[in-house]
Structure 1
Amino acid sequence: MSKIDFNKNNFIYKIINNYILKNKKKKIITRFPPEPNGHLHLGHIKSICINFEIAKKKNGQCNLRFDDTNPTNEKKIFIFSIINDIKWLGYKIKKNIFFTSKYFKKIYKYAIKLIKKKLAYVDLSNIKIIKKERGNFYKIGKKNIYRKNSIQKNLKLFKKMKNGKFKEGEACLRAKINMKSSCIIMRDPIIYRIKFDYHHQTKKKWCIYPMYDFSHCISDSIEKITHSLCTLEFLENKKLYKWILKKIKVKNKPKQYEFSKLNIENTILSKRKIKKLIKKKKIQDWNDPRIHTISGLRRKGYTAKSLINFCKKSGITKKENILQLSSLESCLKKELNYKIERSMAIINPIKIIITNLPKNYKKILFIPKNPKNNNMGNKYIIFTNTLYIDKYDIYNKKKKKYIIKKKIKLRYSYNIKIYKIKKKKNKNIFFCKYYKKTLGKIFKKIKIIHWISEKNSHLAKFRLYKPLFNLKNPELSKKFLNNINKKSLKIKKGYIESNIYTLKTNFHYQFEREGYFYIDYIKSTKKILNFNRTIKIK
């Protein structure tokens, strides 16, 4: 497994090193805290790599902690998926799996502590009023009428919330900080709200749940996290993170450090927006190869090594940027180019008949499995009088006609020339002749094409992908659904070599001139294999 490169220019590396020098007896503990409300995506991989690799390099520990504070959107299936994805990436997580829900009692007690210190109050306003009173970047917040309630009244109201005496949205607990703060997040943020949904861990034990900003820093403290490493979107939250830990007076006070998150062109990584794509039936599911979830990328044919190498290339900085899709593709090409088998597949098949060969003619040709890696050895292909070639090797799209009576080189085989086309039952039949003395010879200015013998072919489906969005950065668009590429998926029927059909799934192939493909284990059947194109050749 490839490692994140920790060099002297990496600011997190410097922070960790300085910490170790000052605290030689303390163990580095980091954490990766996903919410189990969806599948992990490419952006998560960078965070996983940074947190797990730092802990491993410094003989520390990285906790996988599920931020399960919102039962409305969370499911056990997402928990299993996240664990499997992290293991697939190559990281061990046997004993270090935690849940925020395991700390609910302690978090609740800290909320009581804030109330008793006059630093939290129960607000009975509806959410619209709360949002309005908090103001915005141009307008300072306004103090709420419930802000003046006594400690006793707030304790009583909070207990009523816990006992289910209020409906959802009727009451919430807010931290009492500063409604005039220039930082909106510090304007009396909500730290507890009511939810009557069934929780996958605590079941129906609780009907009030802490907000992420309140539970996260406390969970970090409980687990003795030394470095809370997160993306820049949590930079403003740091102020609240510090405030909470200071006011509840805990011994362990982790420090938060931010790095730029991973962005890639022509795609969306937002779980909320991915859910919308699924709901609107723009994609099939979380593992659709057109989106950059780990399960989607894996199904498309990306390896754990290639994804980690891509995150490594993105670096650890505070500078936000959008990475090119070609950079991700190059990471996989580099890995697969010398180790996977080359084969021939016909995606737009037409049948040609070699008339100067008998029908029962059969010649075995031995060719390299990978021309760039002789250690892989050879395999055989069959040359007969009836072959499949790609339509567009002899069809001119602009002129809308077939170009014949020109010599063509069949890769690893003979030269041929199509001399006649006949129509039979709305199908074209192509007749050609082959040149016996051209085997193994190279001819200048003669087009080389791929082919498959009819006797050595098996029907297959090919799923050809293009970026899902026409926009470079659809994450920034409110109308992202209007910018979906309608040609993001084409499914074609064609042929593969018969020996491929006998192999098990989970194999990569480079089909000559067509690209890198991966067997789709979900769509494939005993009768027909389905292939997802991972990358084009060019």
Structure 2
Amino acid sequence: MTDAAEPPRTNFIRQIVEADLASGKHDRIATRFPPEPNGYLHIGHAKSIVLNFGLAQSLGGTCNLRFDDTNPHKENVEFVEAIKADVRWLGFDWDDRLYFASDYFERLYDFAVELIQKGLAYVCELDAEQMRAYRGTLTEPGKDSPYRDRTVEENLDLFKRMRAGEFPDGSRTLRARIDMASPNINLRDPVLYRIKHGVVHHQTGSAWCLYPTYDYTHPISDALEGITHSLCTLEFEDHRPLYDWCVANVSVPSRPRQIEFSRLNLEYTVMSKRRLTDLVGEGHVQGWDDPRMPTIAGLRRRGYTPGAIREFCERIGVTKSDNLVEMALLESSIRDDLDANAPRRMAVLRPLKVVLTNYPEDRDERMEAGNHPKNASMGTRSVPFGREIHIDRTDFEEEPPKGFKRLVPGGEVRLRNAYVIRCDEVIKDAAGEVVELRASVDMETLGKNPEGRKVKGVIHWVSAEHGVSAEVRLYDRLFGVATPGAGGADYREAINPESLTVLTGCMLEPALRGVEPGERFQFEREGYFVADPDSTPDRPVFNLTVGLRDTWGKSRK
């Protein structure tokens, strides 16, 4: 997805792949994006998607989409369809190369039989607790299972009976016969198969009660698909010897190379799928697509664009070292995108009525306003103006602080694309709250400043008669600290109680009536907003995507 006029950004993985192509080791590269369908994709997965699909695309190769669906307890079709939608939305396609690890269950079983026949796998009857005790520690070797030296014939018989459903869950596993003294714990006879009764797999139904583990399935699936470079995050570095062992000891048609890169750690978020599942299940957010979530679905509903996310992934680069990426970098990517592409509109989020006392009641006036200050090709729009308008409450102060450049009693401001007005009277209710302003219009100031007059402030407004009532949802970061859960703390304790503010009765200019969900705009002087799927033609709902500046929560100057 890189601009053709711009050379692709390089990284150590690209350098490896280019060297393999140049040497003739491969005449074409093949990568894969292999999500587990047990949740929605998040921004960390976007990094992997951009790397795998983008690298293959830029070097004339292919990238498969494969679901590693070996744990039916947590997987379902909803997640499968959501993942497919997210990959497409980011701008990538797998053509006819959609696969499931479950497509290979029969062949994986046959490869396991091959390992047994070679004396490289055995059926073990240790339970989970016993297996942990036998495994050893980082400083002490493990002990051989008492079932490690079973004969090939006995193992083949037991494995066949495991598949037939003769044994209960947890009573037997198939383990690789590698090295219980290996300094790499992953090579201490890892489990290859476990028994799972009573589950319905989203692809294979009830056909199996015997399921392969991820560490066994993944390398063989790569090899069966002819993957040349298997790109994964650093937590799989210690698993690479097992990956290589699996493809070296069964008769697969190719030998992929696993290469690890740093995962994305982003401030003010959690990336653990388990924690994201808990946030949804415990009701801390309103679903996987809640705009406060770091999921791709959440970012899409928040108003992020595919191009902004791809650009963010390119900016952070691909490295071998874990690091914490600033949230400001992600926000900067979408702000740059929307600044260039989002049409401008006026929206008053906290309305305060202003009556223009000297403006004719029967006057019907339309102001011409540009849709974008830097892009004349986006055209103009007509904005109705009248005797009664709404301005934002934050644009008026009876006792203004130092440096305040907006409306004050007796002071003047310019209305965006319209006139200069002066505040003449402040109307309050019985409680002393300001409920209305009376102001006068200088009819000679439409689109100009008369000589000698200095008006420092410019504020936005909406016609009271023509404005559209709307709901606006202001989203802040879900967590109040940069690293929730650091030091063993409960990450839930860091949830920001002010991460969502819902404003009702907001007033939008009439050009925003009937917008389609997903349409993005800059609300002038407020930020960038997107129409939410909850919108209706007569009552739009908008979500704050990102503010106009790098730091949220500061009052406008």
**In which range does the TM-score fall when normalised by the shorter chain?**
over 0.9
* Structure 1 CA distance for aligned equivalents of residues 240 and 399 of structure 2: 58
User: What amino acid sits opposite 1:92 in the alignment?
Assistant: D
User: What amino acid sits opposite 2:80 in the alignment?
Assistant: I
How does 1:267-416 map onto structure 2 within 5 Å?
267-395=269-397, 403-416=408-421
**Alignment partner, residue 499 of structure 1:** 511
Q: Deviations over 1:108-154 (max 9, x none)?
A: 11112222222222222221222232233344323322223333332
Contact 1:8 1:14 in 2 (8 A): no
How does 1:90-489 map onto structure 2 within 5 Å?
90-196=91-197, 197-395=199-397, 403-424=408-429, 428-442=435-449, 444=454, 446-474=456-484, 476=486, 477-489=488-500
**Alignment partner, residue 21 of structure 1:** 22
Deviation for aligned residue 1:7: 6.0
Deviation for aligned residue 1:335: 2.1
**Alignment partner, residue 41 of structure 1:** 42
Q: Deviations over 1:188-230 (max 9, x none)?
A: 2111111221011111111111001101111111111111111
Length-normalised TM-score, structure 1: 0.94
Deviation for aligned residue 1:395: 3.7
Deviation for aligned residue 1:32: 1.0
* Structure 1 CA distance for aligned equivalents of residues 40 and 159 of structure 2: 34
SS for the counterpart of 1:148 is: coil
Contact 2:279 2:285 in 1 (8 A): yes
Q: Which moved more, 1:1-10 or 1:487-496?
A: 1-10
SS for the counterpart of 1:59 is: coil
Q: Which moved more, 1:151-160 or 1:322-331?
A: 151-160
SS for the counterpart of 1:474 is: coil
Deviation for aligned residue 1:417: 2.5
SS for the counterpart of 1:317 is: coil
Contact 2:478 2:499 in 1 (8 A): yes
From 501, 510, 513, the counterpart of 1:490: 501
* Structure 1 CA distance for aligned equivalents of residues 528 and 39 of structure 2: 28
Structure-2 change in CA distance of 1:287 and 1:7 (3 Å): closer
Is 2:538 aligned against 1:527? yes
* Aligned sequence identity (%): 39
User: What amino acid sits opposite 1:472 in the alignment?
Assistant: A
Length-normalised TM-score, structure 2: 0.91
* Structure 1 CA distance for aligned equivalents of residues 311 and 138 of structure 2: 39
* Structure 2 CA distance for aligned equivalents of residues 7 and 459 of structure 1: 46
Is 2:516 aligned against 1:514? no
Contact 1:7 1:13 in 2 (8 A): no
Deviation for aligned residue 1:398: 9.6
Deviation for aligned residue 1:62: 1.1
Structure 1: which 5+ runs fail to align?
none
Q: Which moved more, 1:166-175 or 1:130-139?
A: 130-139
* Structure 1 CA distance for aligned equivalents of residues 35 and 303 of structure 2: 24
SS for the counterpart of 1:431 is: strand
Structure-2 change in CA distance of 1:398 and 1:455 (3 Å): closer
SS for the counterpart of 2:341 is: coil
SS for the counterpart of 2:319 is: coil
* Structure 1 CA distance for aligned equivalents of residues 415 and 501 of structure 2: 27
Structure 2: which 5+ runs fail to align?
402-406, 550-557
Q: Which moved more, 1:425-434 or 1:126-135?
A: 425-434
Deviation for aligned residue 1:54: 2.3
User: What amino acid sits opposite 1:462 in the alignment?
Assistant: V
